[in-house]
Amino acid sequence: MSIQYIAELAGTYFFAISGVLATDDDDRNWFGASFTGFITAIGGGSVRDVLLGSYPLVWIGDVNFLYAILFGVITSLAFFNLVIKLRRLMLLFDMAGIALFTIVGVEKSLSLGARPEVAAIMGVFTAVMGGVIRDTLTHKKPIIFSKEVYATACLAEQSFT
């Protein structure tokens, strides 16, 4: 397993955790939390692959991503209070995930023959679309309007090009 592959699994794991943490205390049940965690983790890559028509989607073709998500959901439900305390640390991992998946999205799109302009957009979609769906589901202000996120995605794209 390459370092990038492990990093992608780790990023998926942290995205799933961020999904579970976004659910309100009153609403949190294992089904809703799992659903939110899951859709946060697969959202960005799925939107990218569907827009590009690249089948099978990553998590459908490679079951390891499902286990990374399941592991993330279980971690955050089982150790909820601990994970909440580490929220700031989690945010760091989220930012790292956004930077990573921006680059992954750009790379994959270019390798599928997309133009650089399209690849740049796909990088952003891969990185933030999961969070956008998560915030919509849980009625939060969408992640794209937060300053940290665009700075991160931005830096990732600049460092890539």
What sign results for the dihedral spanned by CA atoms 47, 14, 75, 61? positive
Q: Spell out, one character per residue from 83 to 102, where the chain touches a copy of itself: x when CB under 8 A holds, - when not.
A: --------------------
Helices first, then strands: H and E counts in the chain: 8, 0
Peptide bond into 56 cis (omega under 30): yes
Separation CA 36–CA 20 (nearest Å):
6
The stretch near a copy of itself (CB under 8 A) out of 6-14, 75-83, 99-107, 149-157 is: 149-157
Q: Spell out, one character per residue from 97 to 126, where the chain touches a copy of itself: x when CB under 8 A holds, - when not.
A: -----------------xx-xx--x--x--
Between 86 and 112, whose beta carbon lies closer to a copy of itself?
112
Question: How many other CB atoms sit within 10 Å of the CB of residue 30?
Answer: 11
When binding is defined by CB under 8 A, the residue of 51, 74, 86, 110 that contacts a copy of itself is 51
How far from the centroid of its chain's Cα atoms is residue 59's Cα?
Answer: 12
- By rule CB under 8 A, what count of residues binds a copy of itself? 42
Q: What phi and psi, each to the nearest 5 degrees, are found at residue 5?
A: -60, -45
Q: Interface with a copy of itself by CB under 8 A: which residues?
A: 23-24, 27-32, 35-36, 38, 46, 50-53, 55-57, 59-60, 63, 66, 114-115, 117-118, 121, 124, 128, 132, 136-137, 141-142, 144-145, 147, 149-150, 153-154
